[in-house]
Structure 1
Amino acid sequence: MPVLQALLAERDLRLRWVLRTHQHDALQPNERANLAPLGASLIQGDTLEPLLLVDGAVLPFGDELVRVLPTPGHTPTCLSFAWRDRLFCGGLLAVTACPHQPRPAEPGALWDSVIQRVFTLPDETLLFAGHALRARAVSTVLEQRRWHPYFAGLTRDEFLAQMAALPE
Protein backbone atom coordinates (compact mmCIF):
# COMPACT_ATOMS: atom_id res chain seq x y z
CA MET A 1 0.00 0.00 0.00
CA PRO A 2 2.75 2.53 0.82
CA VAL A 3 4.40 1.94 -2.57
CA LEU A 4 1.14 2.60 -4.42
CA GLN A 5 0.48 5.72 -2.36
CA ALA A 6 4.03 6.95 -3.09
CA LEU A 7 3.62 6.35 -6.85
CA LEU A 8 0.34 8.24 -6.90
CA ALA A 9 1.83 11.14 -4.92
CA GLU A 10 4.93 11.26 -7.14
CA ARG A 11 2.76 11.82 -10.22
CA ASP A 12 0.19 13.95 -8.39
CA LEU A 13 -2.53 11.42 -9.25
CA ARG A 14 -5.65 10.44 -7.40
CA LEU A 15 -6.84 6.87 -7.53
CA ARG A 16 -10.49 6.91 -8.58
CA TRP A 17 -11.41 3.22 -8.72
CA VAL A 18 -10.17 -0.08 -7.38
CA LEU A 19 -11.51 -2.57 -9.90
CA ARG A 20 -11.89 -6.15 -8.73
CA THR A 21 -12.79 -8.85 -11.21
CA HIS A 22 -13.75 -11.23 -8.43
CA GLN A 23 -13.20 -11.73 -4.77
CA HIS A 24 -12.64 -14.43 -2.21
CA ASP A 25 -13.38 -12.11 0.72
CA ALA A 26 -13.53 -14.87 3.32
CA LEU A 27 -9.82 -15.46 2.73
CA GLN A 28 -8.90 -11.80 3.22
CA PRO A 29 -11.38 -10.34 5.72
CA ASN A 30 -9.34 -7.15 6.30
CA GLU A 31 -8.82 -6.31 2.65
CA ARG A 32 -11.56 -3.67 2.41
CA ALA A 33 -10.18 -1.89 5.47
CA ASN A 34 -6.67 -2.06 4.00
CA LEU A 35 -7.87 -0.48 0.75
CA ALA A 36 -9.77 2.34 2.49
CA PRO A 37 -6.73 4.66 2.89
CA LEU A 38 -6.49 4.87 -0.90
CA GLY A 39 -9.74 6.84 -0.93
CA ALA A 40 -10.97 5.14 -4.10
CA SER A 41 -14.31 3.50 -4.74
CA LEU A 42 -14.15 -0.28 -4.67
CA ILE A 43 -15.85 -1.75 -7.73
CA GLN A 44 -16.67 -5.42 -7.38
CA GLY A 45 -19.67 -7.49 -8.29
CA ASP A 46 -21.27 -7.87 -4.88
CA THR A 47 -21.18 -4.16 -4.06
CA LEU A 48 -22.29 -2.60 -7.33
CA GLU A 49 -25.28 -0.42 -7.72
CA PRO A 50 -27.76 -2.00 -10.18
CA LEU A 51 -26.96 0.77 -12.68
CA LEU A 52 -23.39 -0.52 -13.07
CA LEU A 53 -24.59 -4.04 -13.77
CA VAL A 54 -26.32 -2.88 -16.93
CA ASP A 55 -24.44 -4.15 -19.96
CA GLY A 56 -22.13 -1.43 -21.20
CA ALA A 57 -21.99 0.61 -18.00
CA VAL A 58 -18.88 2.77 -17.96
CA LEU A 59 -16.49 4.15 -15.39
CA PRO A 60 -14.81 7.41 -16.41
CA PHE A 61 -11.21 8.24 -15.54
CA GLY A 62 -9.45 11.21 -17.07
CA ASP A 63 -10.36 11.23 -20.77
CA GLU A 64 -10.86 7.45 -20.78
CA LEU A 65 -13.69 5.03 -20.08
CA VAL A 66 -13.66 1.51 -18.69
CA ARG A 67 -16.65 -0.63 -19.64
CA VAL A 68 -18.02 -2.94 -16.94
CA LEU A 69 -19.05 -6.39 -18.15
CA PRO A 70 -20.82 -8.75 -15.76
CA THR A 71 -19.15 -12.13 -16.41
CA PRO A 72 -20.35 -14.51 -13.70
CA GLY A 73 -19.07 -18.04 -13.43
CA HIS A 74 -15.74 -18.23 -11.62
CA THR A 75 -17.63 -16.61 -8.75
CA PRO A 76 -21.30 -15.59 -8.97
CA THR A 77 -20.50 -11.88 -9.16
CA CYS A 78 -17.42 -11.79 -11.42
CA LEU A 79 -16.86 -8.71 -13.51
CA SER A 80 -14.59 -8.05 -16.45
CA PHE A 81 -13.35 -4.61 -17.39
CA ALA A 82 -12.86 -3.56 -21.02
CA TRP A 83 -10.48 -0.71 -21.79
CA ARG A 84 -9.41 0.09 -25.33
CA ASP A 85 -8.31 -3.26 -26.86
CA ARG A 86 -7.95 -5.00 -23.52
CA LEU A 87 -10.17 -7.09 -21.28
CA PHE A 88 -9.25 -7.63 -17.65
CA CYS A 89 -11.12 -10.83 -16.84
CA GLY A 90 -9.60 -12.12 -13.60
CA GLY A 91 -10.23 -15.79 -12.91
CA LEU A 92 -12.77 -16.25 -15.69
CA LEU A 93 -10.50 -18.37 -17.90
CA ALA A 94 -8.73 -20.16 -15.04
CA VAL A 95 -11.35 -22.86 -14.82
CA THR A 96 -9.48 -25.14 -12.40
CA ALA A 97 -6.37 -23.05 -11.63
CA CYS A 98 -7.62 -20.86 -8.78
CA PRO A 99 -5.85 -21.84 -5.56
CA HIS A 100 -8.83 -20.61 -3.51
CA GLN A 101 -11.53 -22.37 -5.51
CA PRO A 102 -10.73 -25.55 -7.45
CA ARG A 103 -13.87 -25.46 -9.61
CA PRO A 104 -16.16 -22.74 -10.98
CA ALA A 105 -18.92 -21.53 -8.68
CA GLU A 106 -21.44 -21.49 -11.55
CA PRO A 107 -20.27 -23.60 -14.52
CA GLY A 108 -23.24 -22.77 -16.77
CA ALA A 109 -22.81 -19.05 -16.19
CA LEU A 110 -19.06 -19.41 -16.77
CA TRP A 111 -19.65 -21.05 -20.15
CA ASP A 112 -22.10 -18.33 -21.14
CA SER A 113 -19.76 -15.53 -20.00
CA VAL A 114 -16.79 -16.90 -21.92
CA ILE A 115 -18.57 -17.98 -25.10
CA GLN A 116 -21.15 -15.18 -25.39
CA ARG A 117 -19.15 -12.26 -23.98
CA VAL A 118 -15.41 -12.84 -24.18
CA PHE A 119 -15.16 -14.97 -27.33
CA THR A 120 -17.35 -12.54 -29.29
CA LEU A 121 -14.80 -9.75 -28.86
CA PRO A 122 -12.38 -9.01 -31.73
CA ASP A 123 -9.66 -11.65 -32.20
CA GLU A 124 -6.86 -9.24 -31.29
CA THR A 125 -8.37 -8.21 -27.94
CA LEU A 126 -5.77 -8.72 -25.23
CA LEU A 127 -6.98 -10.80 -22.30
CA PHE A 128 -5.45 -10.17 -18.91
CA ALA A 129 -6.31 -13.08 -16.66
CA GLY A 130 -5.77 -13.94 -13.02
CA HIS A 131 -4.59 -17.29 -11.70
CA ALA A 132 -2.56 -17.71 -14.87
CA LEU A 133 -1.31 -21.17 -15.72
CA ARG A 134 2.40 -21.52 -16.41
CA ALA A 135 2.95 -17.83 -15.48
CA ARG A 136 1.26 -16.55 -18.64
CA ALA A 137 -1.10 -13.71 -17.80
CA VAL A 138 -1.79 -12.17 -21.24
CA SER A 139 -3.22 -13.81 -24.33
CA THR A 140 -5.72 -12.89 -27.04
CA VAL A 141 -9.33 -13.77 -27.69
CA LEU A 142 -8.28 -15.66 -30.82
CA GLU A 143 -5.72 -17.73 -28.94
CA GLN A 144 -8.16 -18.65 -26.17
CA ARG A 145 -10.97 -19.37 -28.61
CA ARG A 146 -8.69 -21.81 -30.49
CA TRP A 147 -6.69 -23.42 -27.68
CA HIS A 148 -8.36 -23.09 -24.28
CA PRO A 149 -8.52 -26.63 -22.83
CA TYR A 150 -12.06 -26.22 -21.47
CA PHE A 151 -13.74 -24.11 -24.14
CA ALA A 152 -12.12 -24.73 -27.53
CA GLY A 153 -13.94 -27.39 -29.49
CA LEU A 154 -16.41 -28.31 -26.76
CA THR A 155 -20.15 -27.93 -26.59
CA ARG A 156 -21.83 -26.42 -23.55
CA ASP A 157 -23.04 -29.89 -22.49
CA GLU A 158 -19.54 -31.37 -22.80
CA PHE A 159 -18.12 -28.52 -20.74
CA LEU A 160 -20.78 -28.96 -18.05
CA ALA A 161 -20.09 -32.71 -17.93
CA GLN A 162 -16.37 -32.03 -17.42
CA MET A 163 -17.17 -29.56 -14.62
CA ALA A 164 -19.53 -32.05 -12.93
CA ALA A 165 -16.73 -34.65 -12.98
CA LEU A 166 -14.25 -32.39 -11.17
CA PRO A 167 -13.52 -33.34 -7.56
CA GLU A 168 -15.30 -31.31 -4.89
Structure 2
Amino acid sequence: MAMRQGLLFRQLFESESCTYTYLLADTETKEAVIIDPVLETLDRDVKLVKELGLNLTVAVNTHCHADHITSTGLMKQRILGLKSAISKLSGASADIQLAEGDKIHFGKHYLVVKETPGHTDGCSTLVLDDDLMAFTGDTLLIRGCGRTDFQQGSSSRLYDSIHQKIFTLPEGCLIYPAHDYLGQTVSTVGEERKLNPRLTKSKEEFIKIMENLNLPKPKKIDISVPANLVCGLH
Protein backbone atom coordinates (compact mmCIF):
# COMPACT_ATOMS: atom_id res chain seq x y z
CA MET A 1 0.00 0.00 0.00
CA ALA A 2 1.33 3.42 -0.92
CA MET A 3 2.08 5.25 2.29
CA ARG A 4 2.28 8.94 2.84
CA GLN A 5 5.80 10.25 3.21
CA GLY A 6 6.91 10.68 6.79
CA LEU A 7 4.23 8.36 8.20
CA LEU A 8 5.04 5.07 9.89
CA PHE A 9 2.06 2.71 10.08
CA ARG A 10 1.65 -0.74 11.62
CA GLN A 11 -1.47 -2.90 11.78
CA LEU A 12 -1.22 -5.44 14.61
CA PHE A 13 -3.54 -8.36 15.39
CA GLU A 14 -4.76 -10.01 18.60
CA SER A 15 -6.09 -13.47 17.77
CA GLU A 16 -8.44 -14.21 20.68
CA SER A 17 -10.76 -11.23 20.12
CA CYS A 18 -9.70 -10.71 16.46
CA THR A 19 -8.80 -7.12 17.36
CA TYR A 20 -6.64 -4.83 15.26
CA THR A 21 -4.34 -2.43 17.07
CA TYR A 22 -2.86 0.41 15.01
CA LEU A 23 0.43 2.21 15.57
CA LEU A 24 1.07 5.49 13.74
CA ALA A 25 4.17 7.65 14.00
CA ASP A 26 5.93 10.62 12.47
CA THR A 27 9.18 9.20 11.04
CA GLU A 28 11.05 12.46 11.70
CA THR A 29 10.00 13.42 15.23
CA LYS A 30 9.29 9.76 16.26
CA GLU A 31 6.11 10.92 18.02
CA ALA A 32 3.51 8.15 17.93
CA VAL A 33 -0.07 7.20 18.81
CA ILE A 34 -1.58 3.76 19.32
CA ILE A 35 -5.24 2.88 18.68
CA ASP A 36 -7.16 0.12 20.52
CA PRO A 37 -4.31 -1.70 22.30
CA VAL A 38 -5.24 -5.05 23.90
CA LEU A 39 -4.13 -6.37 27.30
CA GLU A 40 -2.95 -9.73 25.90
CA THR A 41 -0.52 -8.05 23.50
CA LEU A 42 0.86 -5.41 25.88
CA ASP A 43 4.40 -6.86 25.86
CA ARG A 44 4.48 -7.11 22.06
CA ASP A 45 3.26 -3.55 21.59
CA VAL A 46 5.62 -1.99 24.14
CA LYS A 47 8.55 -3.94 22.64
CA LEU A 48 7.71 -2.70 19.11
CA VAL A 49 7.45 0.92 20.26
CA LYS A 50 10.87 0.64 21.90
CA GLU A 51 12.45 -1.24 18.98
CA LEU A 52 11.32 1.46 16.57
CA GLY A 53 12.61 4.18 18.91
CA LEU A 54 9.22 5.87 19.11
CA ASN A 55 7.95 8.38 21.64
CA LEU A 56 4.42 7.09 22.26
CA THR A 57 2.36 10.03 23.52
CA VAL A 58 -1.29 8.92 23.23
CA ALA A 59 -3.06 5.55 23.54
CA VAL A 60 -6.62 5.98 22.28
CA ASN A 61 -9.59 3.63 22.41
CA THR A 62 -12.25 4.03 19.72
CA HIS A 63 -14.89 3.03 22.32
CA CYS A 64 -15.41 1.11 25.54
CA HIS A 65 -14.85 -2.43 24.25
CA ALA A 66 -16.99 -5.39 25.33
CA ASP A 67 -14.84 -8.20 23.92
CA HIS A 68 -11.38 -7.46 25.32
CA ILE A 69 -9.64 -5.45 28.01
CA THR A 70 -7.63 -2.43 26.93
CA SER A 71 -3.95 -2.21 27.85
CA THR A 72 -3.86 1.60 28.10
CA GLY A 73 -3.68 1.66 31.91
CA LEU A 74 -0.78 -0.79 32.13
CA MET A 75 0.92 0.68 29.07
CA LYS A 76 1.06 4.04 30.86
CA GLN A 77 3.02 2.33 33.66
CA ARG A 78 5.55 1.04 31.11
CA ILE A 79 5.91 4.11 28.87
CA LEU A 80 6.73 7.40 30.54
CA GLY A 81 4.53 10.37 29.63
CA LEU A 82 1.92 8.28 27.79
CA LYS A 83 -1.66 9.61 28.04
CA SER A 84 -4.87 7.61 27.54
CA ALA A 85 -7.76 8.98 25.46
CA ILE A 86 -11.38 8.04 24.80
CA SER A 87 -14.61 9.82 23.89
CA LYS A 88 -16.12 11.84 26.75
CA LEU A 89 -19.46 10.22 25.80
CA SER A 90 -18.12 6.74 26.68
CA GLY A 91 -18.39 7.27 30.43
CA ALA A 92 -14.87 5.83 30.78
CA SER A 93 -12.02 7.52 32.60
CA ALA A 94 -8.97 8.63 30.59
CA ASP A 95 -6.42 11.45 30.64
CA ILE A 96 -7.92 12.98 27.49
CA GLN A 97 -11.69 13.13 27.00
CA LEU A 98 -12.29 13.42 23.26
CA ALA A 99 -15.09 15.30 21.47
CA GLU A 100 -16.15 15.91 17.85
CA GLY A 101 -13.47 17.74 15.88
CA ASP A 102 -10.67 17.22 18.41
CA LYS A 103 -7.22 16.54 17.00
CA ILE A 104 -4.71 14.00 18.27
CA HIS A 105 -1.31 15.28 17.10
CA PHE A 106 1.81 13.20 16.53
CA GLY A 107 4.63 15.15 14.93
CA LYS A 108 3.34 16.92 11.83
CA HIS A 109 0.41 14.51 11.48
CA TYR A 110 -2.87 14.35 13.37
CA LEU A 111 -6.05 12.31 13.70
CA VAL A 112 -9.43 14.07 13.69
CA VAL A 113 -12.14 12.74 16.03
CA LYS A 114 -15.57 12.08 14.55
CA GLU A 115 -18.28 11.01 16.97
CA THR A 116 -19.99 7.96 15.46
CA PRO A 117 -22.42 6.59 18.07
CA GLY A 118 -24.66 3.58 17.49
CA HIS A 119 -22.64 0.54 18.54
CA THR A 120 -22.09 2.42 21.83
CA ASP A 121 -22.69 6.06 22.82
CA GLY A 122 -18.97 6.74 22.98
CA CYS A 123 -17.83 5.36 19.61
CA SER A 124 -15.35 7.53 17.70
CA THR A 125 -13.92 7.24 14.20
CA LEU A 126 -10.40 8.64 13.88
CA VAL A 127 -9.57 10.14 10.48
CA LEU A 128 -6.04 10.94 9.34
CA ASP A 129 -5.61 14.65 8.54
CA ASP A 130 -5.51 14.12 4.74
CA ASP A 131 -8.56 11.77 4.72
CA LEU A 132 -6.29 8.94 3.54
CA MET A 133 -7.20 6.59 6.40
CA ALA A 134 -10.11 6.19 8.81
CA PHE A 135 -9.97 4.04 11.94
CA THR A 136 -13.61 3.12 12.42
CA GLY A 137 -13.51 1.00 15.60
CA ASP A 138 -16.61 -1.20 15.72
CA THR A 139 -18.79 1.34 13.94
CA LEU A 140 -18.01 0.19 10.40
CA LEU A 141 -16.46 -3.22 9.77
CA ILE A 142 -15.40 -4.68 6.42
CA ARG A 143 -18.72 -5.66 4.79
CA GLY A 144 -20.38 -5.34 8.18
CA CYS A 145 -20.86 -3.08 11.20
CA GLY A 146 -20.89 -3.21 14.98
CA ARG A 147 -23.84 -4.86 16.69
CA THR A 148 -26.46 -2.74 18.43
CA ASP A 149 -28.08 -5.16 20.86
CA PHE A 150 -26.17 -4.32 24.05
CA GLN A 151 -24.53 -1.42 25.93
CA GLN A 152 -26.14 1.72 24.43
CA GLY A 153 -26.71 0.21 20.99
CA SER A 154 -28.98 2.00 18.53
CA SER A 155 -29.36 0.76 14.94
CA SER A 156 -30.87 4.07 13.84
CA ARG A 157 -27.95 6.11 15.25
CA LEU A 158 -25.40 3.68 13.82
CA TYR A 159 -26.89 3.96 10.33
CA ASP A 160 -26.84 7.77 10.53
CA SER A 161 -23.29 7.86 11.92
CA ILE A 162 -21.91 5.74 9.09
CA HIS A 163 -23.80 7.52 6.32
CA GLN A 164 -23.16 11.04 7.62
CA LYS A 165 -19.63 10.79 9.08
CA ILE A 166 -17.87 7.93 7.25
CA PHE A 167 -19.55 7.53 3.86
CA THR A 168 -19.04 11.26 3.23
CA LEU A 169 -15.25 10.76 3.27
CA PRO A 170 -13.43 10.44 -0.09
CA GLU A 171 -14.06 7.17 -1.97
CA GLY A 172 -10.42 6.13 -1.73
CA CYS A 173 -10.16 6.68 2.03
CA LEU A 174 -8.91 3.42 3.57
CA ILE A 175 -11.14 1.88 6.22
CA TYR A 176 -9.35 0.19 9.12
CA PRO A 177 -11.79 -1.46 11.58
CA ALA A 178 -11.14 -2.59 15.16
CA HIS A 179 -11.97 -6.20 14.26
CA ASP A 180 -12.17 -8.64 11.44
CA TYR A 181 -13.15 -12.27 11.86
CA LEU A 182 -12.34 -13.38 8.30
CA GLY A 183 -8.75 -12.22 7.95
CA GLN A 184 -9.59 -9.11 5.92
CA THR A 185 -7.34 -6.18 6.80
CA VAL A 186 -8.60 -3.08 5.00
CA SER A 187 -11.40 -1.71 2.82
CA THR A 188 -12.29 1.68 1.33
CA VAL A 189 -15.17 4.09 1.76
CA GLY A 190 -16.18 3.55 -1.87
CA GLU A 191 -16.16 -0.24 -1.50
CA GLU A 192 -18.25 -0.22 1.67
CA ARG A 193 -20.73 2.29 0.25
CA LYS A 194 -21.27 0.01 -2.73
CA LEU A 195 -20.82 -3.49 -1.31
CA ASN A 196 -21.62 -3.50 2.43
CA PRO A 197 -24.65 -5.84 2.56
CA ARG A 198 -26.23 -4.05 5.54
CA LEU A 199 -25.51 -0.43 4.72
CA THR A 200 -26.64 -0.46 1.10
CA LYS A 201 -30.17 -1.03 2.44
CA SER A 202 -32.70 1.60 3.52
CA LYS A 203 -32.62 2.67 7.16
CA GLU A 204 -35.81 0.69 7.88
CA GLU A 205 -34.37 -2.48 6.33
CA PHE A 206 -31.09 -1.96 8.19
CA ILE A 207 -32.89 -1.70 11.55
CA LYS A 208 -34.79 -4.92 10.77
CA ILE A 209 -31.54 -6.76 9.89
CA MET A 210 -29.87 -5.57 13.11
CA GLU A 211 -32.87 -6.64 15.21
CA ASN A 212 -32.62 -10.19 13.88
CA LEU A 213 -28.89 -10.97 14.16
CA ASN A 214 -29.43 -13.16 17.26
CA LEU A 215 -25.75 -13.10 18.19
CA PRO A 216 -24.43 -14.61 21.42
CA LYS A 217 -23.33 -12.22 24.15
CA PRO A 218 -19.59 -11.36 23.90
CA LYS A 219 -17.75 -13.88 26.08
CA LYS A 220 -15.83 -11.26 28.01
CA ILE A 221 -18.43 -8.46 28.27
CA ASP A 222 -18.97 -8.81 32.04
CA ILE A 223 -15.23 -8.45 32.70
CA SER A 224 -14.26 -6.15 29.82
CA VAL A 225 -16.75 -3.30 30.15
CA PRO A 226 -16.15 -2.55 33.87
CA ALA A 227 -12.37 -2.84 33.37
CA ASN A 228 -12.39 -0.64 30.28
CA LEU A 229 -14.26 2.09 32.13
CA VAL A 230 -11.07 2.45 34.21
CA CYS A 231 -8.38 2.05 31.48
CA GLY A 232 -8.20 -1.71 31.97
CA LEU A 233 -7.00 -1.41 35.57
CA HIS A 234 -9.16 -3.33 38.04
**What TM-score range do you get, normalising by the shorter chain?**
0.7 to 0.9
**Alignment counterpart, residue 161 of structure 1, candidates 192, 205, 208:** 208
- Partner of 2:162 in structure 1? 114
Deviant stretches of 4+, over 6 Å: 48-51, 95-98
Higher relative CO (Cα under 8 Å, sequence separation at least 6) belongs to 2
Distance 1:27 1:87, change over 3 A: closer
Distance (whole Å) between structure 2 residues aligned to residue 34 and residue 48 of structure 1: 13
Letter of the 2:75 partner, please give it: L
- Partner of 1:33 in structure 2? 73
Given that 2:155 and 2:210 are in contact with CA atoms closer than 8 Å, whether structure 1 keeps it comes out as yes
Distance 1:102 1:25, change over 3 A: closer
Of Structure 1 and Structure 2, the greater strand share is in 2
1:23 aligns with 2:70: no
- Partner of 2:86 in structure 1? 44
CA RMSD, 1 decimal = 2.8
- Partner of 1:53 in structure 2? 99
1:92 aligns with 2:133: no
Distance (whole Å) between structure 1 residues aligned to residue 204 and residue 113 of structure 2: 28
Which string of whole-angstrom CA distances, capped at 9 and with x for unpartnered residues, describes residues 44-63 of structure 1?
Answer: 22247997313x21111111
Distance (whole Å) between structure 2 residues aligned to residue 67 and residue 134 of structure 1: 28
Which string of whole-angstrom CA distances, capped at 9 and with x for unpartnered residues, describes residues 95-140 of structure 1?
Answer: 9776xx6847221111011111110110000000122242112000
Letter of the 2:208 partner, please give it: A
**Alignment counterpart, residue 148 of structure 1, candidates 193, 196, 201:** 196
Corresponding pairs, count: 163
Given that 2:85 and 2:95 are in contact with CA atoms closer than 8 Å, whether structure 1 keeps it comes out as no
Given that 1:97 and 1:132 are in contact with CA atoms closer than 8 Å, whether structure 2 keeps it comes out as no
Which string of whole-angstrom CA distances, capped at 9 and with x for unpartnered residues, describes residues 71-108 of structure 1?
Answer: 1112221111111300000111249776xx68472211
Q: CA deviation at 1:17?
A: 0.8
Distance (whole Å) between structure 1 residues aligned to residue 122 and residue 58 of structure 2: 18
Question: Secondary structure of 1:150's partner?
Answer: coil
1:72 aligns with 2:117: yes
Letter of the 1:9 partner, please give it: K
Given that 1:51 and 1:57 are in contact with CA atoms closer than 8 Å, whether structure 2 keeps it comes out as no
Given that 1:130 and 1:137 are in contact with CA atoms closer than 8 Å, whether structure 2 keeps it comes out as no
Distance 1:3 1:24, change over 3 A: closer
Given that 1:92 and 1:110 are in contact with CA atoms closer than 8 Å, whether structure 2 keeps it comes out as yes
Distance 1:53 1:23, change over 3 A: same
**Residue ranges of structure 1 left out of the alignment (5+ in a row):** none
Of Structure 1 and Structure 2, the greater helix share is in 1
**Residue ranges of structure 2 left out of the alignment (5+ in a row):** 1-41, 216-234
Given that 1:66 and 1:81 are in contact with CA atoms closer than 8 Å, whether structure 2 keeps it comes out as yes
